[in-house]
Structure formats: structure tokens, C-alpha cells
Amino acid sequence: MWVEDWAPAAACREANPDELFVRGAEQNKAKQLCSGCPVRTECLAEALDNQIEWGVWGGMTERERRALLRRHPSASWRAVLETARNSAGKLPASL
């Protein structure tokens, strides 16, 4: 299920915003905050669809998002990520 108003459910909602807008090795710490987030997919779709340039969003750095956008410049990331998440939920339990 896609969460429209995802920000209140984000794992980072109470974090200091400066922790998410860092450079270098500090980005790995920020990405860890995203790892267990229940709305990570929605956050990432927001950043990709709106081409947000700075910070860690949905567990991806600016560089990672730019690379993805270069490969697929006209994608609707919400549609892509929502479809992928729905498909993953339908995998057999044996996998």
C-alpha cells in the first residue's frame, strides 16, 4: 500500500536534518537511518520524481540518484517503485 502522506511515518522525522545533508563517509550513517524506514520507497520516489539534488532520501545519496536519473530520465519513479514493491509482495514464500 502506497502512503501518500509519508513524512510523519518516516524514520528520520525526529532526526536532526543536518544528519541527512552530509558529504562523504557521513552519508553512510544517513543511509543506515533509512534502512528500516517503513516509508523508504515513498521518500525515494519523492526525491527522484522531483529531482531533489541534496541529501540522502530513501536510502540513496545525491550521486546515486543522479546516476539513476541519467539512465532513466523520463521515468515516473512512483509508478516504477510502487509496481516493484507490489510485485515483490507477490513472490512465493519459498524464495
Binding-site residue set: 12, 34, 37, 43
**Which amino acid is it at 81?**
L
Please enumerate, by residue number, every residue annotated as part of a binding site for [4Fe-4S] cluster: 12, 34, 37, 43
- 92 Cβ partners below 8 Å, 6+ apart? none
* Ramachandran area for residue 23 (φ above 0: left; ψ -120 to 50: alpha; else beta): beta
Say which DSSP state 44 is in: H
Neighbours of 79 (CB within 10 A): 11
